[in-house]
């Protein structure tokens, strides 16, 4: 009679796993672990490390200089302006884009003519290459020949200098960015609305609820997870904006009025060669995004608990 093989089991966090299963899992996960370490963990560590050095990309010199880079960026007028521009950009883009996307999604979810056509029209800007659409909008914003000023002239309104004046440049970038990204949020909200069971709406209407009450008491609360996701991704994406600003308003625009934090980091690293300062600014940007994301998540959790 053959002796039965002994199966060795290991307990991990209260759960028993066979030793052979853990070996197979480790082998399967090893490529991903190596990729994560080489492509994420090490670069992040190097950014934090370089933030405490005077690393110069042009000369290659690199020496420890403590918190000198952080002292410099927090006293730099351009960094302060880039922070202000970034928060302004993020606030207006998130507020306007999320509100408009939700409103349009409700319209497209209702029975209106040419719904499929409107869905395609709203989503087209999302798939258009960013640089190509930025170049097209530069022409739209042209003070002399641009269609926007031609429309203002027909309406008898004074022309606007759009991206060519410090007072309107940042808002012009915000308008373009909303046009470019709103279609994606509309599709997310529309998918959420169409996943709401009809029985919920029918039951509310039987109880005498109006269309507005159904919207605010049934549909929007059920859309809370998607709204939370859209806001969280929006926070991350708005603080990473770079290409449209760099293409439409090079060098930060008139009087540095459109420069965002990523543009400031790029200028420090590749225009000035001050990689150490750029890494310090990158760490600050990371902390800002992490902090805002955690605050948003905490607020959303609190609202969910209150509703429960």
Instruction: Tell me, yes or no, whether 40 lies in a domain.
Output: no
Instruction: Tell me, yes or no, whether 127 lies in a domain.
Output: yes
Instruction: Tell me, yes or no, whether 2 lies in a domain.
Output: no
Instruction: Tell me, yes or no, whether 26 lies in a domain.
Output: no
pLDDT in tens, 242-300: 999 999 999 899 999 999 999 999 999 998 889 999 999 999 999 999 998 888 888 77
Instruction: Tell me, yes or no, whether 45 lies in a domain.
Output: no
pLDDT for the residue numbered 199: 85
Instruction: Tell me, yes or no, whether 115 lies in a domain.
Output: yes
pLDDT in tens, 123-171: 889 999 999 999 999 999 998 888 999 999 999 889 899 999 999 999 9
CATH of the domain at 102: 1.10.3720.10
Q: Give the mean pLDDT of 14-28.
A: 77
SS (H, E, C) the chain: CCCCCCCCEEEECCEEEEHHHHHHHHHHHHHHHHHHHHHHHHHHHHHHHHCCECCECCCCCCCECCCHHHHHHHHCHHHHHHHHHHHHHHHHHHHHHHHHHHHHHHHHHCCCCCHHHHHHHHHHHHHCCHHHHHHHHHHHCCCCCCHHHHHHHHCCCCCCCHHHCCCCHHHHHHHHHHHHHHHHHHHHHHHHHHCCCHHHHHHHHHCCCCHHHHHHHHHHHHCHHHHHHHHHHHHHHHCCCCHHHHHHCHHHCHHHCCCCHHHHHHHHHHHCCEHHHHHHHHHHHHHHHHHHHHHHHHHHHHHHHHHC
Q: What is the domain count for the chain?
A: 1
Instruction: Tell me, yes or no, whether 59 lies in a domain.
Output: no
Tell me how crowded residue 102 is: count the other CB atoms within 10 A of its CB. Answer: 23
Instruction: Tell me, yes or no, whether 11 lies in a domain.
Output: no
pLDDT in tens, 50-105: 999 999 888 888 889 989 999 999 999 999 999 999 999 999 999 999 999 999 99
Domain assignment of residue 275, given as a range: 70-307
pLDDT for the residue numbered 3: 47
pTM listed for this prediction:
0.85
């Amino acid at each position: 009679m053959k002796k039965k093989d002994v199966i060795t089991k290991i307990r991990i966090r209260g759960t028993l796993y066979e030793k052979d299963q853990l070996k197979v899992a480790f082998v399967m996960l090893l490529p991903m672990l190596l990729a994560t370490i080489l492509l994420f963990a090490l670069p992040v560590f190097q950014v934090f490390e370089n933030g405490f050095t005077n690393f110069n990309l042009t000369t290659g010199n690199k020496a420890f200089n403590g918190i000198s880079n952080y002292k410099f960026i927090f006293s730099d007028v351009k960094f302060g302006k880039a922070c202000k521009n970034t928060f302004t950009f993020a606030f207006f883009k998130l507020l306007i884009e999320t509100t408009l996307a939700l409103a349009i999604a409700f319209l497209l979810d209702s029975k209106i003519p040419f719904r499929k056509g409107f869905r395609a029209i709203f989503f087209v800007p999302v798939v258009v290459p960013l640089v190509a659409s930025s170049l097209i909008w530069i022409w739209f914003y042209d003070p002399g020949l641009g269609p926007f000023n031609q429309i203002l002239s027909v309406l008898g309104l004074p022309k606007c200098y759009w991206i060519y004046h410090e007072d309107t440049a940042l808002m012009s970038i915000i308008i373009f960015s909303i046009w470019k990204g709103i279609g994606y949020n509309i599709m997310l909200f529309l998918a959420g609305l169409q996943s709401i069971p009809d029985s919920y709406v029918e039951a509310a209407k039987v109880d005498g609820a109006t269309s507005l009450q159904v919207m605010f008491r049934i549909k929007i609360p059920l859309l809370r997870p998607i709204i939370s996701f859209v806001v969280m991704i929006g926070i991350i994406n708005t603080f990473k904006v770079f290409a449209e600003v760099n293409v439409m308003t090079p060098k930060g625009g008139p009087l540095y009025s459109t420069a965002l934090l990523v543009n400031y980091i790029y200028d420090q690293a590749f225009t000035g060669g001050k990689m150490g300062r750029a890494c310090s600014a990158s760490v600050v940007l990371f902390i800002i995004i992490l902090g805002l994301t955690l605050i948003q998540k905490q607020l959303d959790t609190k609202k969910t608990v209150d509703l429960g």
